[in-house]
Structure 1
């Protein structure tokens, strides 16, 4: 139990989805102290968002925006909730969430289980105003027009979220990743662009890590052509590396956590090369330390997100990553996150 707080250790003894539900209830109800002020060196901007630090919470933990008061006290620079679909849906049959402790990984096939847009909107209307909150938008499994579902979400939540993420990369809704093809993507992003209010909240596109560099380059160009504010790179993977040791490694679903690190970094580098500084990038996938967050920033990410590592490290990880990231920036002579991005990728020491 070394390095892990008792509550996290206890939750890891429970069924994963039961532990997830208890975590959400605790974050929603237990009064937490305010986090320490962020180190000024961590202040940054991403796609028009002003952040006290570049460390965010990825979507998936707070699917229904129930725990924003607690999450706002953990020290994140921004918190993304969802995915939310227009209509409530139960998601895939249980069990659908699996820990791979030997691999510091998670497999999920949740299937966009959520309470729908109306409940989500009601909670966002009561969220802490000082916290940058994003809404991750999804499409219902049985919808005939998936692009219309994203437009519905964008319009329903306008003015309630600080930014939106168009999630077309979950592997757990059949056919969803087909929206990453150029024709479908142009249709989707064109309709998103039409639905946006002038001067409204930024919109990011979340892509899969299982794309080729050429496919990522095409998505970058489509994103730029339609005025989308940035890319989130990346979602969970369908790949199963040979290095996996856990007995649960063959479960269907998206793999996240430490084994995703190399694939997510490769996707980030491809996006950074294709974007050539024209498009803000947010990195996610296998980030579990300040050193790894720093490596992603040096590879071109303006901000990073975590989720799976919290399952194994607990909420204290947030402060550790921020502290170590600030140390990395100062060690290499930078005074801002932007300077580290411009400096380019790390070289072997």
Structure 2
């Protein structure tokens, strides 16, 4: 972290967290935030679900909900970027305050509730940027809170925005929309994924479809989710979203409702990741998310079974320079342990998490 970034973060942390995030997005859009561009090496370059990535470190959904700063984010050192979640109709989300910094825990609790400007606004922005992206850009699909057919919402968003993104994520694991996680049940999940995959057949290009799951599933529930994902032939699973657990927290905000992210999620999400890798015999491509704040964290996710990783919450504490720091640090760890390519390290430490 450079001095300017350290000062900027210090100022932003004195402001309401949702407002400070909006200011950070404005600064990125104005082009005043230094960006490293592409960060890569022979060890870091990899392919995932047909996408060529300069490195395996991506941005998780939620940072840029409305695809307003895609250009800047694709120059921030990430190997890939995911925007959204986006719903068919605009919606304000849950009442404020709905974002809390748990500074003592380096964590975040949010209960946004899929606040976004809707699929038409996102599609218009993604269309303008679709031909000049240096890294793949994907979209997190969501459902409106008041929808009578949430499964149909995911299809509608994909049909509208799918032509302009490199991958799409079916997000049924946010804890902030009532009963949304019920869609992780085997029958509901099968129907939902089948609908989105059928919609892909009607488009002019093949768009990888990912499934994002919760870290709070029981072993039996996780096995059913893995089975359905393999049955319908989803392209990859993202493990995991935020957690409802509050174990070991110190912050005065620890009792706030919403999804917890950051380091307290790391162990739980990594165990789910390793279990998924075991359940699918390492054949299902996995994306590791949850609590990544260093190169060592990213490396542990990869060794637990993830081919690529995503981060978000740590950026609130360490700034965007963390992206390059993690990618270059990961390169050093791979070299230290004798791996010629990041793909060679995937799953090599899975047994440590089971």
TM over 0.5, shorter chain: yes
Deviation string 1:108-159 (CA, Å, 9 cap, x unpaired) is: 0000000000000011012242221010000000001000000001111122
Residue 316 of structure 1 pairs with residue 321 of structure 2 = yes
**SS where residue 153 of structure 1 aligns?**
helix
181, 204, 210: which one pairs with 1:204?
A: 210
Contact 1:295–1:346 (8 Å) recurs in 2: no
Distance 2:115 2:38 in 1: 34
Residue 240 of structure 1 pairs with residue 252 of structure 2 = no
Distance 2:55 2:89 in 1: 34
Q: Which residue of 1 aligns with 2:83?
A: 81
Contact 2:39–2:324 (8 Å) recurs in 1: no
Q: Within 5 Å, give how 1:1-349 maps onto structure 2.
A: 5-30=6-31, 32-35=34-37, 37-127=39-129, 128-197=132-201, 199-241=205-247, 243-345=248-350
Offset of 1:214 from its aligned partner?
2.1
TM-score normalised by structure 2 residue count: 0.94
**SS where residue 42 of structure 1 aligns?**
coil
Contact 2:210–2:235 (8 Å) recurs in 1: yes
Offset of 1:37 from its aligned partner?
4.2
Are the structure 2 counterparts of residues 204 and 61 from structure 1 closer, same or farther at C-alpha, using a change threshold of 3 Å?
Answer: same
RMSD over equivalenced CA pairs, Å? 1.7
Distance 1:323 1:305 in 2: 15
Contact 1:284–1:306 (8 Å) recurs in 2: yes
Contact 1:210–1:238 (8 Å) recurs in 2: yes
Contact 2:101–2:109 (8 Å) recurs in 1: yes
5+ residue gaps, structure 2, are none
5+ residue gaps, structure 1, are none
Distance 2:101 2:160 in 1: 34
Contact 1:29–1:70 (8 Å) recurs in 2: no
Distance 2:59 2:219 in 1: 26
Distance 2:144 2:266 in 1: 29
Distance 1:321 1:95 in 2: 31
Offset of 1:342 from its aligned partner?
5.0
Offset of 1:5 from its aligned partner?
2.1
Contact 2:240–2:289 (8 Å) recurs in 1: yes
